[in-house]
Amino acid sequence: MLILRSAPASPFARKVRIAANVAGLSDRISVVETDTNDPADPLRRENPLGKIPALLLDDGTALYDSRVIVDYLDHLGGSGSLIPTGEARFPALTQQALGDGIAEAALLQVYEGRWRAADKRDAGWLAHQADKVDRSLRHAEAHLTLGNGPIHVGTIAIACALGYLDLRFAGCVARELP
């Protein structure tokens, strides 16, 4: 049984859980809730970065990060089950990078609030990250055909980014760009 270190709110861990489901591998994976803030959690021994998701193989090897894990699941599920082959591969991987980047920029804003005292928070830095999210959502709306084609790593990543924005930024209005 493979072990997936995960947490319900993590967009990157969610991407892996959905990918495992799409590739028909959920039965082979035990999802273990992990506290990235707990120094005693085994995660830090398995992934020195202390980040989830991490996937533990039967021989104890740890795979991270989510892109590597999805690549591994694609290999287990049969090449092309998550990452298209041929020419379609690169747009799908780029779409994954866009989804992951949105989640990352959103996460950095959340961490700014979680890790810095209120008087140390940097409004310029928060705006820099919020602009990335805004631009990327506009780009996705204008250029991506989501929901009409096959599910792959790119569509999954965008879905997880949108889910994370709903979770952490629900009700926020997209900022006006110049």
Ligand X SMILES: N[C@@H](CCC(=O)N[C@@H](CS)C(=O)NCC(=O)O)C(=O)O
Residues that bind ligand X (CB under 6 A): 10-12, 36, 50-53, 65-67, 100, 107
Type and span of the H or E element at 80: none
User: Omega before 65 cis (within 30°)?
Assistant: yes
Residue 12 or 25 with smaller CB distance to ligand X:
12
Strand partners, 63: 55
Residue 111 or 149 with smaller CB distance to ligand X:
111
**Rounded least distance, CB 88 to ligand X, Å:** 21
Question: Which has the closest alpha carbon to 153: 101, 96, 98, 87?
Answer: 96
Q: What is the dihedral of CA 156, 162, 163, 168, to 10 degrees?
A: 150
**Rounded least distance, CB 163 to ligand X, Å:** 12
Question: Which segments of the chain does DSSP mark as H helices, in order?
Answer: 11-22, 43-46, 66-77, 89-115, 123-143, 153-169
Residue 149 or 166 with smaller CB distance to ligand X:
166
**Rounded least distance, CB 23 to ligand X, Å:** 17
Residue 11 or 77 with smaller CB distance to ligand X:
11
**Rounded least distance, CB 109 to ligand X, Å:** 13
C-beta nearest to ligand X: residue = 65
Residue 90 or 111 with smaller CB distance to ligand X:
111
**Rounded least distance, CB 153 to ligand X, Å:** 11
Phi, psi of 69 (to 5 degrees): -65, -45
Distance CA(107)–CA(103), nearest Å, equals: 6
